[in-house]
Structure 1
Amino acid sequence: MTSSVLSAVRARPATTTAGLVGLVVSGVLLALLTDSAAVSRPVTTDEAAQLALSRLTTYESSPALVEITVPSGSARTRVHGLVDFRTHHAVGSYATDGAGTGGMIAWDQGGLGVAPDRQPADPGPAGLAHTAEGMPGPDWSPRAYTGDPFDTALHLTMALAADRPDNPQLLAQSGARKLRDEVLEGHAYGVFSGPLPRGSETAESHLTYWVDGDGNLGRVELRTAAGGQPITVELKGRRLDTQVPQAPWGR
């Protein structure tokens, strides 16, 4: 992403509600902040522009490979997914540590479909797409989202992208903060706490974002009211050649 794009984002007037602000006040993320001792400071103008740009760069990364981790007690459920943020469709495989259970999953903005005991022969993007495409409609068990952490993680993933950047001034005014710098898999990121909900009595957001200097999102963590380990969404591949299949939505 060029510096001219970042400059344009910085110059946007603070007149609309930002998408990242919307994440913390909508029904998508009904979670409360747990105690945190992280040292933080308000974002600078450039940092606010980076954070604001992250939803657009995520949208433009489609199709993208994501890794979602949902802790539950001593176990973790992992989703290996192929996401098209433009069409709001995703397919993937899931498995739970030590449970011997897993299967295929498809999700969008409105809900999800699960196909237990089905796994792709090839765990890569092409294998995920091929397996989902070849499954007949009755193989999927569809349902709406619930407040379950697993559902929250899938719904959060779909809310990470938009076809335009957020408003950096509004992000800064809503309490976005810089926590630290960190390297993930050899790539440098700034780590930010997201904007606060309106009327929040907490010191920090329950959402943490890893965003690089070009506004590319690497990771998002959500801390829930239950405490413990956070839900994690990581972007592992961008602009892949494999497309998310029409199935099961087209059936």
Structure 2
Amino acid sequence: MAAFLVADHEPEAGGPRTVTSDEANRLAITRFRNYEAHGRAVTITVPGTAGGLTVTGSVDYKGELGYGVVHGIGRDTSSDGLVQWTADSVFVHPMANAPAHAPASPPRSGWYSRPLQSSGSALDTALSIALGLGSDRPDNAELLPQNGAAWWGRGEVDGHPVDVMTGPTSRDRPGTAGNVRYWVGSDGTMYRVRVSVSSESEPVVIDFDTQKYVPVTPVPGVTPAR
């Protein structure tokens, strides 16, 4: 998880405590900010007992579509290549020598599709989480403190001052308050998300604006939501 730790400040001590009204408002709009931006550049760090993976690319939050290049961390290159994904499907283009960044125009052939797994795959879980970090409307700020949202401290991500907050309990998964940690700027912009996943001892980490956002071009067989 070195990518998560390098060049960033750990949160200042002070939390956890219940979020204030201002903090709740920023947490409530942070996914909506991603949707407003249409899309964001991301680096997704996926843990694994046999070595991790990184996905470097873009997520189109209006089209509900992600695209990037996969590289192994501390493992062989068998999983390297291009990936594009939706809420229910994953399209993979294996590459022996995967580039540092995915080409803006994806190859038109050589793709293999499969259903996105809802459990048992750390990669699919990470892809699903990244795609879910956009929403066409803000969350209800008044309910966040009631459902366990908390402030943990202040920090910095790539030069951006942030507040570090954990999200509330999920409506369909009671007792999950604190499983998702957000690094949020003063205007509600999301700069990092860290999510505990049941299949791994280390969290999934999603960093935003790690490179220039490149609009996502659908590969054959993929239809964006918008």
- Which category of TM-score, normalised to the shorter sequence, fits these structures? 0.7 to 0.9
- Between Structure 1 and Structure 2, which shows a larger proportion of helix residues? 1
The 5 Å alignment of 1:185-224 reads: 185-197=158-170, 200-201=174-175, 204-224=177-197
Please say if residues 87 and 116 of structure 2, whose CA atoms lie closer than 8 Å, have aligned partners that are also in contact.
no
1:70-149 equivalences under 5 Å are 70-73=46-49, 75-97=51-73, 98-101=75-78, 102-117=80-95, 121=99, 123-124=100-101, 127-130=102-105, 132=106, 134-136=107-109, 139-146=110-117, 147=119, 148-149=121-122
* Structure 1 position 65 matched with structure 2 position 37: no
CA RMSD of superposed structures (Å)? 2.2
**Structure number, greater radius of gyration:** 1
Partner residue, 1:177: 150
CA contact (8 A) 1:175 1:195 kept: yes
Please state whether the residue corresponding to 1:162 is helix, strand or coil: coil
1:128 Cα offset (Å): 2.6
Q: Which residue is 2:218 aligned to?
A: 246
TM-score, normalising length: structure 1:
0.74
Q: Which residue does the alignment assign to 2:135?
A: 162
Unaligned runs of 5+ in 1: 1-37
What secondary structure does 2:104 align onto? helix
Compared with structure 1, are the counterparts of its residues 238 and 213 closer, same or farther at alpha carbon in structure 2 (3 Å cutoff)? farther
Is the contact between residue 104 and residue 119 of structure 1 (CA under 8 Å) also seen in structure 2?
no
- Number of residues paired by the alignment? 204
Q: Counterpart of 1:72 in 2: which secondary structure?
A: coil
Of residues 26, 31, 44, the one that matches 2:20 is 44
CA distance in 2, matches of 1:225, 1:112: 21
Per-residue CA shift, 1:160-179, capped at 9, x if unaligned? 10111111001121110001
The amino acid across from 2:77 in the alignment is G
Q: Where do 4+ consecutive residues of structure 1 move more than 4 Å?
A: 118-121
> Residues 99 and 86 from structure 1, CA distance in 2 versus in 1: closer, same or farther, beyond 3 angstroms?
same
Q: 1:233 to 1:43 in 2, by over 3 A?
A: same
Deviation at 1:60, TM superposition (A): 1.8
In structure 2, how many angstroms separate the alpha carbons of the residues matched to 1:223 and 1:238? Answer: 25
Displacement, 1:74? 5.6
CA distance in 1, matches of 2:141, 2:97: 42
- Quick one: structure 1 residues 62 and 209, their matched pair in 2 at CA, closer, same or farther if it must change by over 3 Å? same
Partner Cα distance (1:47, 1:39) in 2: 13
Which piece of structure 1 moves more, 164-173 or 42-51?
A: 164-173
Q: 1:118 to 1:64 in 2, by over 3 A?
A: farther
Hey, what's the Cα distance between the residues in 1 that align with 2:15 and 2:199? 23
Residue 123 of structure 2: aligned partner: 150
Encode CA deviations 1:173-203: one digit per residue, 9 max, x unaligned.
111000111111111111111101358456x
- What stretches of structure 2 of length at least 5 have no aligned partner? 1-13
TM-score between the two structures when normalised by the length of structure 2? 0.82
Q: What is the Cα deviation at residue 243 of structure 1?
A: 2.1
For 1:57 and 1:78, the matched residues in 2 are separated by 24
Q: What is the DSSP-based 3-state SS (H/G/I as helix, E as strand, rest coil) of the residue aligned with 2:125?
A: helix
Alpha-carbon distance, 1:75 to partner: 1.7
